[in-house]
Structure formats: structure tokens, C-alpha cells
Amino acid sequence: MGFVLLAGALVAAPAAAVSYGSLAFTQAAVDDCADWFGTCEWKATCKIAGGEDAEVFAAPGGVAQDLEIEKSFEVKSFPAKVECSLFEDDGWFGESWIPAGTASIDLPGGGDYSFSLKGDQGTVVLTAVADSFEMPDGIAAPAPAAAAGKPAKPAAKARQLVGGYLKDHHGHGVVLGLPWDAFKARIDQYAAQGVLLFSMQNWEDGGKRLWGGIFRSYKGKQELVTDLEWDPFLKRFKPLYDGGMRIQDMEIYAKGNKFYFTGVYHEGDDENTFWLEELNPFVAKWSSLSGGGLRLVDLEVYQATGKWRYAGVFRGGSGSYGIRNAMTWDELQTFWKPKEAEGRTSLTDIVTHNDKGKQIWDVATGGGQGQMSPLLEGAAFAKDWKDRVAKGFRLATVETVP
């Protein structure tokens, strides 16, 4: 699977932008074939963003036959238009390729995609998996040079990131470090292709609030509830739930002396709730809900009235589950490394907060084979992401420090 690293590749992004991406075609499913003998000679080509056509596969295939293929493209920036063409060999005594169908997708980023190539000769559906990483803010910029005769400013401490990964064959998109309006535009671009926001992250940088998220393909509707105080945010839950929407993730952040909430809902019919409490009552509620068939899918920690409070989103689920709270980084490593070595546990969410100068970590765990990255600065985190995706792991959660 190929990737590319570019500087300044994203539209309207600063020069330090980092972008990785690939599109891998994995299967060609023959739905129809007009050949009298029941088998057609197929060939498909695709091109990215107006580039050169490249052959994706060439093979015979009959109705209801699935052909395994391996063809990867590098994607240099997002969104990217992907255009595919199908041909069928209509020659009796030699090759005579005739057009058999076309399809195109405006690829917003990572996810799972299908290209239905249909014409008079038959129908072939190409399945593709895309992975993408975009970090418009790149590495934290060094402090600007001091004016003549003035002392130099100390270099700003670079932001670090840590990620939890899950072994998974589905594609995903990662976007980190956008102001809300630009982030919302990316959410809409993804949603137009059936790729929804599954996990959000926000932080302040230089007095500006930045947003990030992880996107995955999902069949169903999506609705955002944004920038509301607690009471109006809570009031939106029941009508949305009754309308078949389930809260998937939420962010809590302070503006002045008030807290605001932003949440994303997905279409679903499972049990669903969210809960806010101090640590001990929260863990007790987590235990009760988990025993009743719900799983913690999003964990938040925030400080209100001088006390640390925990918030969690729960959705119906099954399989293993766990939670560990109030660890130092070293304690987290001691807990996690044996789990990763066993290969049966993944990180559902990882959060951190600074309590009186001490960085504290909390994690929620689930089943599957998981990995956790080290604490890394922006470009190094992006490179680490690329390496893990190449081994079949996809980012499930990300946290920033500070």
C-alpha cells in the first residue's frame, strides 16, 4: 500500500501541512455479463485527480464471481476525484477492447468505497479501501525571531499526540487541527460519500480552538448538535433518540465560565445513553451499564467547580470491556504493554488532563488487537500513523498534550 508525504498539499492549508493518503482496490465483483458463454474478459483502469490512467485489473469473470485484486494509488491531497473505466474484450480472434462503463467519486478522504461500472456488456463493481491523514497545522511553529535589540522569545513547546489503534481492514480518514468552520466543511464532504464522523477531539492553540476527527464509512444518517450549554444539549437527546438517532461522541469545553457541548449522532436502533459524574460514581455507573449490554465508546474528563468530572457515551455492544483511571504515563505503559503483547485488547478511548502539574491518564478498552503509539510531535505522529496503517492498523482514538 503506497503513501505520499507532501508539504503544502491541502487547499488553504499553511505551508507546514502534512498529508498522507492511499486508495487500494481489493475486489472486482461481476454482477452481469452479456457474453453468450457466460464469462467476459474484463479490464478496468482508474485515475486520480486527472492523472494518468492505470490498470486496476484485467481478468475473465462470470456472473456472481468475485475477483480478488491488489492495486494501490497514492493520493496527494483531498478531496480528490477518482475516475474509473471498464472495458470488455469483444474480439473473436484477437483483443478488441470496447468501453463497458464508467464511474467516478469525489473522494473526501479515507473510508470504504465502491465503483459500479455498468454498461451494455455487463456490470462490475470495484471495491476500494482508502486511508488518509491530514494535519493542516503541522508541527508547532517555533517562536518568531526577536526584533533587533530585543531578547528572543523562548520557543513554544510543541504539541504531542498519542493514538490508539485497532487491527481493522476498513479504511478511515483522520483530520487534525482545523478551526470549526473548516472542520465542519470536511464533515459535510465526508458525509456526502457515506463516511461519518466517529470520534472528535478539540484543543486550544494560541487562543484558537482547533478540531480533529476520525471518519469511517457507515450506512445511515448523521446529525451534529453543536456548541450548546448543558440544558439545551440534554434536551436534544430524547427527540433524536426517539427519531432513531444515537449519540456516538461528544466534546466538552469551556468558554469563559461556562461549559459547552458538541455531539455527533448516528442512525441506529441500539440502547444508548451518556452520563456525567465524579470518578467513583461514574465508574459504578460504567460497571452497571456495561453489565447491562452497553459499551463505553467515548470518554471525557473536565474540571467544574474545582472537581474533576467524567463523562461517557454508551452504546449497545458486546465483547470485552474495561476502564483504567488516574494513571501517570509510566503507569499507563505498565498497564498497556502486556495487553498489547497479548493481542486481545484495544483502546476505545484515551484521555488526559493536568491536575496540579501532574499529567493524568484514563483509558477505556475493548476487544480486538490494539496498539498504542508513543507520545509524538506532529510530523512524527503522522509518520507513525502511516507505518501502522501499512501493517493493517487503523486509528481509533487520539489525544493531544498539552
Tell me the pLDDT band of 107, cut-offs 50, 70 and 90.
very high
Whether 194 is covered by a domain: the verdict is no
| ∠ CA 54-56-59, rounded to 5° | 130
Q: Is the pLDDT of residue 12 over 60?
A: no
* Proportion of the chain above pLDDT 70, given as a percent: 91
User: Are 166 and 88 within one domain?
Assistant: no
User: Are 107 and 233 within one domain?
Assistant: no
User: Are 45 and 120 within one domain?
Assistant: yes
Tell me the pLDDT band of 94, cut-offs 50, 70 and 90.
confident
User: Are 251 and 389 within one domain?
Assistant: yes
User: Are 125 and 223 within one domain?
Assistant: no
Whether 373 is covered by a domain: the verdict is yes
User: Are 115 and 165 within one domain?
Assistant: no
Q: Is the pLDDT of residue 156 over 90?
A: no
Q: What is the pLDDT of residue 50?
A: 86
Q: Is the pLDDT of residue 144 over 50?
A: no
More confident residue, 142 or 149: 149
User: Are 106 and 226 within one domain?
Assistant: no
Q: What is the pLDDT of residue 148?
A: 56
User: Are 167 and 87 within one domain?
Assistant: no
Whether 329 is covered by a domain: the verdict is yes
User: Are 304 and 372 within one domain?
Assistant: yes
Whether 200 is covered by a domain: the verdict is no
Whether 205 is covered by a domain: the verdict is no
User: Are 124 and 234 within one domain?
Assistant: no
Q: What is the pLDDT of residue 151?
A: 56
Identify the DSSP state of 269. Answer: -
Alpha carbon distances (Å) from 336 to 128, 263, 346, 347, 350? 33, 29, 9, 9, 12
Instruction: Pick the closest to residue 378 from 203, 222, 253 (CA basis).
Output: 203
Place of cell 459504578: 284
Place of cell 455527533: 264
User: Are 116 and 25 within one domain?
Assistant: yes
Q: Is the pLDDT of residue 17 over 90?
A: no
* Proportion of the chain above pLDDT 90, given as a percent: 85
Q: What is the pLDDT of residue 37?
A: 85
Return all residues near 180 (Cβ < 8 A) that are at least 6 apart.
Answer: 209, 211
Whether 188 is covered by a domain: the verdict is no
More confident residue, 232 or 141: 232
Domain that holds residue 32: 6-131
User: Are 21 and 167 within one domain?
Assistant: no
What is the rounded average pLDDT of the residues 243-247?
99
Tell me the pLDDT band of 149, cut-offs 50, 70 and 90.
low
Residue 17: give its domain's CATH number.
2.60.40.150
Global pTM reads 0.91
* pLDDT tens string 158-169: 899 999 999 999
In whole numbers, what is the pLDDT of the chain averaged over residues? 92
Instruction: Pick the closest to residue 262 from 235, 225, 234 (CA basis).
Output: 225
Whether 268 is covered by a domain: the verdict is yes
Overall number of domains in the chain: 2
Whether 340 is covered by a domain: the verdict is yes
Instruction: Pick the closest to residue 249 from 199, 210, 293 (CA basis).
Output: 199
Q: What is the pLDDT of residue 243?
A: 99
Q: What is the pLDDT of residue 29?
A: 98
Q: Is the pLDDT of residue 353 over 50?
A: yes
* pLDDT tens string 251-261: 999 999 999 99
DSSP H or E segment with residue 157: none
